[in-house]
Chains A and B, each alone.
Chain A
């Protein structure tokens, strides 16, 4: 299944793109993240939340959307 992954903030600096479409066979968000961690090892140390279909979801959720966004906290002001 093709999933569009969107990266915000410093995550986009690690992946060197704001979004990409990747093929996954995984069923949960955390399994998808494991694949991404292997592709981008620096992602592993970063804190971020995951949105699926524009809704923040827990990492145990089943993948049900075609678009997933990884959102880090921002501290600047």
Chain B
């Protein structure tokens, strides 16, 4: 029997429906708690082309819910680790991994290549970016979001239906919703919500009626309550996005509770897996820092020597005091290096750390 025989035997799917699945192109933004179950079921279902974009790396604390990863994936980019697992699950489909951050610069050209976008991100900045990009590209987005024990699912921008901005017109006030800090989440919850997202993707591809558009499904895993709320379309929410078409790419979306330049202490930097240090100081600057996995590229030369830097590694930049390294992070981010840190307090912090840790 074929891989998809349990689908094909369903009169609602059949070979014709399975062919639709194998012709479908779906992009999953975020391979985390939501993205993992979405990807797992879409791969198993035989979605022909599956894109995965995620700039983050697998950490031990992800394994409680991000079911595509194991201890062997630690320190590996999530898009790449997910692709490796999914190719074992179903080698007959085409899986594209994009180990980078979704930005205003790359979103439109990436969305162009896919029929359906899945929002499995963990921050408002990217959720609004996805919303605006799917409107500009006329693609449906299957939305899922979670908070501790509760989840929301909907399909936006589908067949003239409402968008995310019709529900929540503008991003919440800075810091009003805890999301970056670890507030905790029940591990099984993204499994439930992400699986529902995968189900909506398959319904859209198969052309089923009753896609979850114009409705927000809310689930509470503690009391098993579900609520379905009706969402109306707001034409003005669409018009505002369309009016910004020309300037979309220039937007440097204000990050919400997310500092653009991540500073890291020497202690934390040495705990990172798969890390590349870069000393941005001039050759004659003292003190000398002799550590392994360290490139020496003065800040002025950084842009010319980008090909020496491995974008799949975590990059820790340091200088004398921590000012040039911030500039370096911005420069690398502009060249799509997505996991860069500026070392707090510069070279002396490294030497102090090494001194203490060897005592």
> Interface of A with B (CB < 8 Å)?
6, 8-10, 18, 45-47, 49, 51, 54-56, 69, 71-77
Contacts and interface: CB of A to CB of B under 8 A. Distances in A.
- The B interface, classified by DSSP as helix, strand, loop or mixed, is mixed
A71 B220 CA distance: 13
11 contacts: A9-B147, A47-B177, A54-B230, A56-B167, A69-B229, A71-B218, A72-B172, A74-B150, A75-B127, A76-B147, A76-B179
Contacts, number: 89
A69 B227 CA distance: 10
Q: Sort A-B residue pairs by CB-CB distance and give the 7 closest, nearest first.
A: A74-B145, A75-B179, A47-B172, A77-B122, A55-B230, A74-B147, A76-B146
A47 B223 contact: no
Interface of B: 30, 32-35, 119-124, 127, 144-148, 150-152, 167-168, 172-173, 176-179, 183, 185, 190, 216, 218, 220, 223, 225, 227-232
B123 to A, nearest CB: 6
Contacts of B176: 45-47
Contacts of A69: 227, 229
A52 to B, nearest CB: 10
Contacts of A56: 167, 216, 229-232
* Residue of B33, B147, B173 ringed by the most chain A CB atoms within 10 A: B147
Given A73-B168, A77-B144, A77-B145, A18 B223 contact: yes
B185 to A, nearest CB: 6
A47 B168 contact: yes
A76 B229 contact: no
A72 B227 contact: no
Nearest to B230: A55
Given A10-B177, A56-B167, A69-B229, A75 B122 contact: yes
Contacts of B145: 73-77
Contacts of A9: 147-148, 150
Contacts of B231: 56
B167 A74 contact: no
A51 B177 CA distance: 20
B177 A72 contact: yes
Contacts of B228: 54
Contacts of A75: 122-124, 127, 145, 147, 177, 179
Contacts of A10: 147, 177-178
A74 to B, nearest CB: 4
A74 B147 CA distance: 6
Nearest to A9: B147
Given A9-B147, A10-B177, A10-B178, A77 B190 contact: yes
A8 B218 contact: yes
Nearest to B228: A54
A36 B183 CA distance: 25
A77 B146 contact: yes
Contacts of B123: 75
A76 B173 contact: no
A45 B229 contact: no
